[in-house]
Amino acid sequence: MKIRTLFTAFFLSVISIAARAGDHDPEGAVLGKFNSAHEFSRLTPELIKSSAESIISESRESLKKIYGIPSASRSYENTLLALDDMYNTMYNTNGYIYLMANCHPDAAVREEALRAVEQLDKFGNEIGLDEQLYRSVKEFASSKSARSLTGYKKKFLEETVRDFERNGFALSSEKRKELKQLQDKLSELGLTFSNNIAEYEDFLTVEEKDMDGCPEDFKRSRLQPDGKYKIDLSYPSYSGFMKSSTSDEARKALFMKYNNRAADKNLTVLNDILIHRQKMADLLGYKTYAAYVVEDRMVKTPTTVWNFEKSLLKKVKTKAAADYKELLDTKRKYLKDQTVNVINPWEASFYNNILLKEKYQVDQEKVKEYFELNTVTEGLFQIAQHLFGVQFVPIQNPSVWQKDVRAFEVRQGEKVIGRFYFDLHPRQNKFNHAACFPIIRGKETSNGYQIPVATLLCNFPQATENSPALMYHSLGSASVETFFHEFGHVLHNMLTTSPLYSYAGTSVARDFVEAPSQIFENWCWDYDALKLFAKHYKTGEVLPKALFDKMLAAKNVGSGIAASYQIFYGMLDMSLHDGFDPNGKETTTDVVKRLQAEVVPYAFVEGTHFQAAFGHLNGYAAGYYGYLWSEVYAADMFSVFEKNGVMDQKTGKKYRDSILAKGGTEDPLDLVRQFLGREPNDEAFLKSLGL
């Protein structure tokens, strides 16, 4: 449990829960009654402002009640549970406000939501440094009843005390004031960093000749009145052009634009963030900010992270080199020039696409004809419902923030146990990647179990008059694989049974949180699962087994390069937070350049500053390693499904009960051991990379 949570972090660090709704929502305009659906269509900037102000006021009153309990009368219920209740109520408001800051089409609503998030974040900083609250918890911790706690209650107490003390309660009051100022400044900088990325707009205008190789539907949707084509920097647009256009010059121009998103502002902001994070670490007595961050995670120390990354890099180096040679051979054949000896990064997707077509006979444009968004959604639902014994029922005429948003109830029998929203298509000023945003987490309350609510924000292709919404199977962040991944986060939130908000759903150790999403990607690669929904959008023909076998054979094409990039991102994140001097001569771009030369096979391109739009440096600070770290556990857990059958309901129930339902109530390594029935290992992970 985190006493202080940065709401500006990425989707998984958003805390958003309520024990009772309406008190802090004037006239119940948005939240309504307990467990009722949100009234998003009634949202206004004024309501956001008043909701944030009133929930802070209400939370202060809840804190006063906790302070006022006599030391001898303290109990788990009136101190620890009361604290969880307060967070639960408070962050329900933050949940929908944070979501609106990232996706509402009205600029006035977004701007007010951003201001409210900053206000709530600073209040969270204040709570984390609240000496009266700390004293109240410590009073209870020293009691006889506290020493008799077991299970999740004992864990909750220990982690609450630990997090308070990690927030500076070994410091003097003056130093704590300084710490709060640093935290407040980091909140402001983090919001600015994320907002600069979201609001950044640029595009490349190209001629007809530059569109050679691009699919007709891609061309039609980008044709301008003057006969030229506009390629924006949204992922479907960028990835589609980089993969298909035969114009090396145009691809390079788009690459330069894409890898300079928000660089005009965020290079300075990022440096300021790193300066303030190191100041915070210094104040708290940690050598580096990374040492502070990972102390309470599975890895415990930066050394463990570095050893993990370097060990993995050694294992993938040979495969990455083979991948590069395979691409180089493809380029030589395409250009009819055997003297070519380099692949430029803006050429990688293009030649990878040719490689898949010619050597592996996998044409991504043909493959996506079997993956229309609606049928993919139906298949994803069918698999999850079968495995976990639930039903996803569309809500008719839901109150939503944008007309394309869909809403669903999660039911077990006749009982509603959760609710989620799909906002799947790109638009201006919307969060530009794919992520699950929790709004409300599960919790046991006096009114019964509070049902969780979450939203999936994605940027998947949208149907047009001339073309359905066809998805790549596993290419980029607008793919079927991404859809399954992010829905794994939704399932983690929906299927929780945690008694506490603080441990519900994705409220787990940060370096384990990706495992339940990564494991769900595997169903995209099993034919028995795919044939349930992979059907040609025109004929209804099921994806041929022969084509699937070719896709499977090509699955690990480039897997060494892909893994090396994940290692590169993790090492960059750790480098910037574990020894880098933001006041020194070396810049963040210098670090990118140095690490890229060490880790990945493509050369650094002068004049690029991809780190300016690498949003994970804000949300995952010193934590990006967790993607690969958790993938090791995900692959190991999926090996049980492979052994028993990927659609085996008994295994699905065990996984739901052991992993998804428990959230953070137990140590993640213990949960994995329970599910596996043994110690975990990395054999399945290395096998998944083709090693």
At residue 354, what is the residue type? I
- By CB neighbour count within 10 A (0-12 exposed, 13-18 middle, 19+ buried), where does 487 fall? buried
Q: Given a cut of 80, is residue 2 above it in pLDDT?
A: no
Calculate mean pLDDT across residues 561-583. 96
Query: What is the β-pairing status of strands 229-232 and 453-457?
Result: unpaired
Percent of the chain with pLDDT over 90: 88
Model pLDDT for residues 144-155, shown as the tens digit of each residue: 999 999 999 999
Q: What pLDDT sits at residue 12?
A: 36
Comparing CA positions, the residue from 392, 391, 388 lying closest to residue 652 is 388
Model pLDDT for residues 199-256, shown as the tens digit of each residue: 999 999 999 999 999 999 899 999 999 999 999 998 889 999 999 999 999 999 999 9
Answer with the residue of higher pLDDT: 467 or 27: 467
Nearest-angstrom CA–CA distance, 405 and 398:
9
Comparing CA positions, the residue from 670, 631, 589, 505 lying closest to residue 15 is 505
**Is 555 in contact with 526 (CB distance < 8 Å)?**
no
At residue 523, what is the residue type? W
For 325, the enclosing helix (H) or strand (E) is helix 302-335
Comparing CA positions, the residue from 508, 448, 495, 446 lying closest to residue 152 is 508
Nearest-angstrom CA–CA distance, 1 and 627:
20
Expressed in angstroms, the distance from the first to the final Cα of the chain is 37
- Residues near 172 by Cβ (< 8 Å), separated by ≥ 6? none
Model pLDDT for residues 468-505, shown as the tens digit of each residue: 999 999 977 889 999 999 999 999 999 999 999 999 99
Calculate mean pLDDT across residues 557-584. 96
Q: What pLDDT sits at residue 496?
A: 98
Q: What pLDDT sits at residue 197?
A: 94
Calculate mean pLDDT across residues 673-690. 93
Interior angle at CA 46, CA 44 and CA 48, nearest 5 = 75
Q: What pLDDT sits at residue 29?
A: 58
Q: Give the CA diameter of the chain.
A: 84
**Is 420 in contact with 381 (CB distance < 8 Å)?**
no
Nearest-angstrom CA–CA distance, 659 and 518:
13
Model pLDDT for residues 619-674, shown as the tens digit of each residue: 889 999 999 999 999 999 999 999 999 999 999 999 999 999 999 999 999 999 99
For 526, the enclosing helix (H) or strand (E) is none
Q: What pLDDT sits at residue 6?
A: 32
Q: What pLDDT sits at residue 628?
A: 94
- Residues near 600 by Cβ (< 8 Å), separated by ≥ 6? 320, 561, 564, 565, 568
| Residue 549 DSSP label | H
pLDDT-derived band of residue 419, with 50, 70 and 90 as boundaries?
Answer: very high
Q: Given a cut of 60, is residue 435 above it in pLDDT?
A: yes
Q: What pLDDT sits at residue 465?
A: 85
Comparing CA positions, the residue from 46, 99, 26 lying closest to residue 453 is 99
User: For tokens 């463990």, what's the residue?
Assistant: 304
C-beta pairs of 583-586 under 8 Å, 24+ apart in sequence: 583/275
Q: Given a cut of 90, is residue 139 above it in pLDDT?
A: yes
Q: What pLDDT sits at residue 170?
A: 79
Q: Is 444 left (phi over 0), alpha (psi -120 to 50) or beta?
A: beta
Q: What pLDDT sits at residue 25?
A: 57
pLDDT-derived band of residue 24, with 50, 70 and 90 as boundaries?
Answer: low
Nearest-angstrom CA–CA distance, 379 and 406:
17
Sign of CA dihedral 138, 142, 148, 151: positive
Task: Give catalytic residue positions.
Answer: 486
Domains detected in the chain: 11-171 (1.20.1050.40), 201-258 (no CATH), 368-556+626-688 (1.10.1370.40)
Q: Given a cut of 70, is residue 3 above it in pLDDT?
A: no
Q: Is 505 left (phi over 0), alpha (psi -120 to 50) or beta?
A: left
Interior angle at CA 151, CA 411 and CA 88, nearest 5 = 55
Calculate mean pLDDT across residues 675-681. 96
Percent of the chain with pLDDT over 70: 96
Nearest-angstrom CA–CA distance, 641 and 684:
12
Q: For the chain, what is the mean pLDDT?
A: 93
| Residue 542 DSSP label | B
Half-sphere exposure of 591 (CA within 13 A, CB side): 25
Calculate mean pLDDT across residues 557-583. 96
Q: What pLDDT sits at residue 7?
A: 34
Nearest-angstrom CA–CA distance, 299 and 312:
15
User: For tokens 């969060």, what's the residue?
Assistant: 431
